[in-house]
Structure 1
Amino acid sequence: MGRDEVLKQLEQQLQTSERVAISTLTGMGGIGKTELALQYALEDAKKSPEMRRYQGGICWLNGRGENIGSQLVRFIEKYLQITMPDEGTLEERVAIGWQRWTEGESLIIFDDVEEIKQIESYLPPQVPPPNKCFKVIITTRNQRISRNFALLAVGLLTLEDSIKLLASFIGENTINQDKAGAEALCQWLGYLPLAIELVGRYIRETEEDLATVLESLKALKLADESLNYPSDEIMTAKRGVTAAFELSWQRLSKSAQIFGMYLSLFALAPIPAEMLLPDENNRKQTEKDLRDLKNLSLINDIGDKIYEIHPLIWQYLRAKLGEFNEADSLKRYHCQLMAIIARKLGETPTKEDLEAFSPAIPHLALTAEELHPWLTDDDLIWPDVALGKFYQSQGLYGKAEPYYDDCLRITQTRFGAESFYVLLSFNNLATLYISQGKYKEAETILSQDLALTKFEKIEDFCVSRIVNNIAELYKKLGRYQEAEPLLIKALDLTKKSLGEEHYDIAVRLDNLADLYCCQGKYKEAEPLALQAFDLRKKLFGMEHPYITNSLNNLANLYFYQGRYEEAETFYLQSFELSKKIFGEENLDTVTSLQNLANFYLNQKNFKKAEIMCVKALELSQVFLDDEHPDIATIFNNIGLIYKMQEEYEKAENYYKKALKIRKNKLGEEHLDVARSFNNLASLYETQKRFDEAELLYHKALEIKKKRLGTENDSVAISFNNLAYLYRCQGKYAYAITNYQKAIAILQRVLPDNHPKIEECMNNYVTMLLEAPEGEVFPLISPEWQKIVLILKETFKTNNTNSPMKKSKSKKKPRKKGKGFGN
């Protein structure tokens, strides 16, 4: 109402431009940008079907609601009846949606957009598909967004348009009876549509004359001086709005006023009805209060039982709350509700869990930031913990960390340094640091955490989690001998406190099994991993997030033992289940994807491996810092693919990127650094850069011996690699020594039928068969000399070449995608 000229301008711009941004030069809310877009859309929708301009449909998307892409996909499926694929990223699915959109001209409205990044990935294509045309309207207060598109600035109403808007509520006759009074009223309200609408509704309900209302507003302005702004043109409008709100406020019952003040404790974000109506005993009264507030436009029903408050009204209600004698009671009640909601987010939330929980996030954030003094001792940590967990589970570590930091700060302030809640806060922060690859910071915090258990009577299961986390950190650092007794202790404490059939028991079993895998103790690892898998199946069934962990762990274990068919089956099951439970854009799914890529790369299926590695890198870079160790792992794997395809310059580039990250994040003596040295050495060996390769192979070997001891299959592989390097150079004495060391270790630590033993033995025998007898016979035992002569005679008689392989040992993936190189 009152925007005829602006609507004409909008229509003209849509004729010449594919996109129109509707903004306001003042950046002020309440001017009517949304109403203008809605009025334009409704004018077309009211026409008969054959006369409508937008035959392809009108799509309305809320910038303050859920993700724009999710809204688009739902609109396409629900209203256009178009089948959309479940696979692919949200951006890819939206792009497919534009291609499949109904033919004809379509109107897409992005309402109340705050930042360009909200919509830039979801805008229609600049060059639309044949027989399709998209017109776009964007409403925003952010003038920077407007610069990207054709601008239509929407300011305050003119006097004429203000009168038209007021007349739509109180009628033309009332205006004609006192036109001067109507003009004075609109002028006092600052020509702000929201204020005019509120006053118009009030007059319509009370039937008061314009002069009386204007006098009341002028009087009420003085009563609300604390809410007034400096008296420039735009701020005057806000002052008028405050008084207009007061008119509606006076019409509310005492109960509705209290409920209105309570609403100001929520954030400026959509509020689901279930948050407003948690108390069954008072539901009827609350529903009545909600209706009263809605009828007077103090709260807006945006559909699907979701409500929102205009920012100016929210400020007004907050000021009212500040004057309320029982404000503390409302704040305590609200904090209790927020803590209940926070507790609902599980330890391993699925994609569906996160989507269902996301409406609570802005409200929990406001509680954590402003209302924590009103949280009880038992509730104090929960808003921060839920917020940290929400972001951490999505790999958004930078967003999670401030909440864990804040949780530690407020618990130390309220409870002192030596407290159970401080202990939990330390533990949460340390877990986050481990996820980020900040291992030194994590170790410092966990050491403090463990020390606290000496001062507090902490339950065994809490101590077990701390001990477990320290052990897992040591495992990541390659300090296996320190990790093993801690993992055993954690398992014993968990059994003692929780019994034999608890989820945490499965976690402890898996962690211990993985440690034994890292040490090459596969016989000890397998029964533990199977026991964990069986326990999870019993507790949760097969389609549960926890099952993906067991599937992945068993796949790794079988791969280590050379049971490749079984390994592939479990890798595929883990990946498919992760996609189903978490969605594709989730770090758990990325981990499963990486592990599957690792497997195919080891199996020399380079096409599959490359597709998966590139996809894993794209997804990981969304969640992780560019120098996260997991990014280094993917760089390393891509480097290996390029090496196998003989693109050596590209391979070296990716290997060096991985090495740099690992050195910076993990330290010079981490096992992943050794893996990077090994992979670079293998590349240089292929290029016959033998001196450079030898230096790096020795560096890798020294790190492994220091971290793992000499009795480890990874150390044996380093000896095998050195042996092959010397063999390529004809340095047979060095080659024989290193092959013998490798074979001896592998025979001691691996099962007799393990492929690594066979491969290493093949490499050794092949060298002995190919090398000149005069050079190698003096260096081997008489028994081996006889074996070599018999084999040569056999091959000569059969007129065949040696069947022995000239390969070095295959590389193996590590748990959670930790690379190939050994």
Structure 2
Amino acid sequence: MASLTPEDYTVAWVCALPLEAAAARVMLDKIHSPPQEISDQNAYDFGELYGHNIVIAYLPSGLYGKVSAAGVVSRMRSTFRELRFALMVGIGGGVPGTGKNDIRLGDVVVSKPGPRHSGVIQYDYGKAIQGGIEAKKLTAQDGEDGVLNIVQQVLENNSHMRAEFGAPKGHTDLLFHPSYRHTEGDSCDTCDKEWLVNRQPRGGKAPHIHYGLIASGDQVTKDSQTRDRLAEQHGILCFEMEAVGLMDELPTLVIRGICDYCDSHKQKQWQGYAALTAAAWAKALLSVVPAYHGSSSIKKAQRHWVVPLARNPRFVGRNNEIAQLEHLITTQDGPRRVAITGLGGVGKTQIALEVAYRTRDRDKDCSLFWIPCTSQTMIDQAFLNIAQALGERRTLASDFDNADDSEMWLTVGNNAGLTLEDFLPQSSLGRILFTTRNRKLAIKLAPFDLMPIPDEDKETAFQVLREMLGHDLVAEETSAAFLEQLAYLPLAITQASAYIAENGLNLSTYLELFQEHEHDAVELLSEDFRDPGRYKDMQNPVITTWLLSFKQIQHQNPLAADYLSFKAIIDPRNIPMSILSPGATRKQQLEALGLLNAYSFTAGQHTAINMHRLVHLATRNWLRQNGLFDHWVGEVADRMGDVFPNYDSSNWRLWREYLPHGLSLVQDAAFACHEDSHTKLIERIAGCLKSDGRYLEAEAFYARLVIIYGRGAAQDHHLRLDNMAQLAFVYLFQGRWRECDELYLQVFDGQTRLLGASHPLTIATLRIRAASCVCQLREVEAEKLALEAVELSERGLGPEDEITLLCQTDLARIYSIRGRQEHSLETCFSTIERMKTAQGQEQVETLSVMSNSASTFLDMGPILNQRK
């Protein structure tokens, strides 16, 4: 026998409990191997009965009720598209009565429409049952005997089932008065038998078959008084939990073997037998229902083309990606789902569209359906259009475009407990292609079959530009710089080209506009333009395309949105993870960074996180538009103040890693209102620049600090003098002697007035002035200043003080430079870091830098002397 496909199965047999499934399996004439194409999460058995190909489905263990049943059947409908009807077969609670409805344990109740109720099956199928099955005497004695024969034959052929599925003794069928409740204990042995209802014995062993209304709900009915009240009010014969969840999915017949009386008394010994009698009646039913072998075997599918976008006549590049996609979707054993991922604007939709049109041109029998997933409304409308094109409510989709919203796809959004993913079609012949910016969602929808589109493809970018503007304009030398500024992003290139063509510009003029100011660049990237390859009701600018992604990230993971905002304030390249604000677990951090990577907004999660340059620009604009930019400048400033290292040589690796980000922060105009409270951060940045030999940049920051410490609430004359000294120091390194001397003289005078002539900082300034004179080959003046430093230190600090000895060492070096070896001192102390003075750590740090600087310049003296 040829292997069967999901399209060959036409009858669904649904079971809620394991014992119901066991009873169902033994009814099959043949057992089938599962089709290889099955991939949904349901558990199935497959087989044949009287020519019917039957799929038996199980409810998830421990999950019963209408919602669970609806989810199972919905997934079945997607996988087995030729299902004609469902049988819900199992056990239920019976309503005891008299006469025609004298229901006993082991009897079978079959759902049947009444005057006001559908009997939990559709009317048309219910009428077929009434007219067909009852006409064939299944409700008469012959039918009941037939059920008994099936039960007996099953038990003879499967002796291991007798203990659980055999008929219990008749005296265990106990019906108690409705007002009497079960007493303590697992069985009714201890219940008072005086409360038993007196019923006439029923002749024969065959179970009776009853037709009528079956009530379905999420709770087991265990109250006999409630049972009788509802039964009398609605004409109910049986209570169960799952059937109503199937009614809207498939024409369904409910078959229940009676195992209790919906009261508080325990009748568990009847469950196996009741499941078997229900399954036996289902088998008897299928013996008289004609088998259907599926429409796929008797008619050829009509080709359908439901794609709302026209082919892009200017599509170029991406040949490798298209070749790989075509291979994946045309290979016979290839994946049924493939996802194209990448940054918004990178060209995912255009690639999918081109693949769709190439598939149409190559395969004349292939149908293709395109579902825009930008909103639930657009999805609903697309499915409606497809249903109208097919003339029925079943369809196979090949492309889901812009499937970005995880919540839309994976979150339960209806009473049946179903997600949008549950409605994806299943077919061995069909393929689904997703386009999404969200790689995390792509991995869930198409595990291990992802096609990432790189953010940067220079060859494709150049082809797009040439296609849009023509060879003459693109031949300019500025084309490379133009594409680099637009990060080689196809949508940004298309948008810029439309603006250039509309305004009669050339690449150079556009590039000047783009580079002149950040605000101008944002405005250019926000210009709307017409693009026939994109949806008419959506705005096309590249900045706008990312707005939805920003909102989705905010909703899915607020920490990720915070990280995105934080990174927008600093340099977008090589962001160390340690610079980000703490307050989250390692797992939360990695998930947040992973989401940003999933949207291609960033790349990397450790020491070299990179943010896409245009996304960086767009995020800054988004923060400004929402009044959040100044807030995040403050947040980043606080964090940088905590983590930015001092400019000690032992920290050089770390501060070189942090320096670009500190510069991006403090050079932003918005930082001006925060600078008074973050002077230490500015000082450390300036010190790092000076240590790195970037004197012109350091000069700007020291001059800025001098201004800050001289005004308002930040006024501090001591710190102002310190930074004037540092400013003089960078003048010295730049060879700006006059400015250096003038500033050091101001510092010395100010320190003398503020601290006194013998204060260590005042003496340190004298030492650097002396060293400056040596560098300028003014040795005589240097000797005078060094002598003055020694005298002041001896008088104020004492001849044995460490600073005094350093001053003596300076003087000895100057004597040596001048060739006066007889005056040289023999003692030289190595560093001033050993000092532990009473001035405090900040002054020790300043003294250390200035004194080491003095020694450095003195050491340079002999070299400079050789240039005379």
**TM-score scaled by length of structure 1:** 0.37
Q: Which has more helix, going by share of residues?
A: 1
Structure with more relative contact order (C-alpha pairs < 8 Å, separation 6 or more): 2
Greater C-alpha Rg? 2
TM-score normalised by length of structure 2: 0.36
